[in-house]
Structure 1
Amino acid sequence: MTEESERARRSECESEFESEPTTEIDVPESHPRYQSLLTRHRIEHGVEAGITSKQGLIAQGRGEAFDYLLGEETIPSADAAERAAAAQLLLADHPVLSVNGNVAALVPDELVELADAVDAALEVNLFNRTEARMEAIADHLRAHGAEDVKGLTADARIPGLEHERGKVDTDGIYEADVVLVPLEDGDRAEALGEMDKAEIVIDLNPASRSPRVASIPIVDNVIRAVPNITAHARELADADSRTLERIVDEFDADEALEAAEERIRSGEF
C-alpha cells in the first residue's frame, strides 16, 4: 500500500471516527461496566482511524486494571493533585499539553477545553511516530476545536532520548516551563525533569516511573483527570499568584502516591 493510499484509508476511518457517536455501543448506560466498555470502544475505534497504535490497546488494558483496583473513581488525593495541577498550569508562562494516540482517542474535547482554560498549547508526541499518524492526530484535535496543534515540525530534541518521543517542537515542549504528560511515559518524564520543567503526570499506576519523577503525579483515569483539572482551573481563574503558589507548594507528591497505593492494596472504597 502506498503512503497516499494509506492516508486516504486513514482519512476515511477518521471521518467515521468523527461521525460515529462514542456512546453507540451495545451496552445500556445502567450497566456497571458501561464507562469501561465505552473507553475500550474509543480506543478500538482510534486504532481503526490510525490515531491509536496497537500497543495502545495493551496500555489501555493495563491502566484499566489499576483503575478497577482504585474503585474506578477519583480518590481524594487525586482530586488534590488535579487542583494543584490546575494551579501549576495557571502559573506557567508557557504550558504545553502533550498528546499521544490513546489520549487523542479518549479525551479530545476535554483536552481542547483544558488548553483553553489555562492558555496552553497542544503538542502531539508519539513513540510509534509516522507522518501519517501525526497528521491524523493533529487533524482529529482540530476537528474537536483545537486551533494550533504542535509536534509536526519536530525541530528540536529532548536531550537523552534517542527514540521518536525525543522529537519535539522548539516553541512547544522544548521551551515549555510546565508540561502535562498523560499516561505512562517514564523515560521522557525523567528527561523532561532533567530539563528543569515542572511535570504533571497522569498515570493509574502509582508505582510507575512516570508519576514518581513528576512534580505533580495524578493517579486517576485520564477521562476523569482532564475534565477535573479544567474544572479546578476555571474555579481558580481569578486567584492571584500567591494563592496559586500556595496550592502548589502545599501539595505533597509522595503523600499522593502513598494514598493511591494504599487504596489499591487495601481495596477499601
Structure 2
Amino acid sequence: MELSLKGRKALVTGGSRGVGRGIVLTLARAGVDVITCYRQEGEAVDSLQRELKQIGGDHHVVRADLTDPADVEALLAECANRFGRLDVVVNNAGAISHIPYADLPLDEWHRVVDTNVTAVFLVIKHALPLLGEDSSVISIGSKVAEVGIPTRAHYTASKAALVGLTRSLAKELGPRGIRVNVLALGVIETEALHALPEEQRIGMLERYSAKTALGRLGRPEEVGGAVLFLASPLSKYVTGATVHVDGGIS
C-alpha cells in the first residue's frame, strides 16, 4: 500500500518555523495541498512561501492568531473557500515558557493553555464541516505530558489535555470515519535551539542526546514522517492513539 496522499488537502497550524515548517514541507513534497498559518510576519514566512512555490502545488500561507476565536473561524473559512474540504488537520501551533509554579501569573497560564488547548478545540470544531470519511486529525503533543518537568506545569497540563481530548474525539468522531491521534514529541532540533548562545546550545545537545536511545535529537522532517503515516491509508485503523516520536528518550 502506498501513501496515496497526492491531491489531499491539509491545514497545518503554526507552520512557518520549527516542527510545523518541517510538517508543511513534508506534506507538500508528498503531493498534499497545504494551508498553514503564522502569527508574526518575518523572513521565516517569506522563505516558506518561496520553498512551497519551488515544490509546487496549491499552497497558502496566511496570518492567524489562534488565541483569537475570530481568527480561527476566519482561518477555517479560508480553508473552505480555497479547498472546499480538509483531509488532514495538524494542530501544531503552541506556546511554552519556563516559570516556577509559585510565580506563574494567571495571564501566562491562559496564554499557554489558550494556544495549546483552546485553539485546538476551536480549530477542530470549525474544521468538522470540512472533514469527511478517512480524514485525519493530528495534534502535536509532548513526552512531557507523561513525565512532567519543573517550571513547565502550565505547558505540561496543556499537553496532557490534548491526550484526553484526542481519546474522547476518537470515539465521538470514529463513526464518521474521522481518525484523531496525538504525536508525543521528544526534543526536536529546530532553529530555536540554534539561536541559543553556543555554550548553552552545545550543552543542551549533549544533555538531551545522551537521554535518547538513538543518541541524538529529532529533526522536524522526522516529525513530518510520522504525520505522513497518520495522514495516509497506512494508518486507517489507528485512532485515539498517542504515538511517540522521541528517539526513545527517558
TM-score, scaled to structure 2:
0.44
More helix by share: 1
Structure with bigger strand share is 2
The TM-score with structure 1 as length reference comes to 0.42
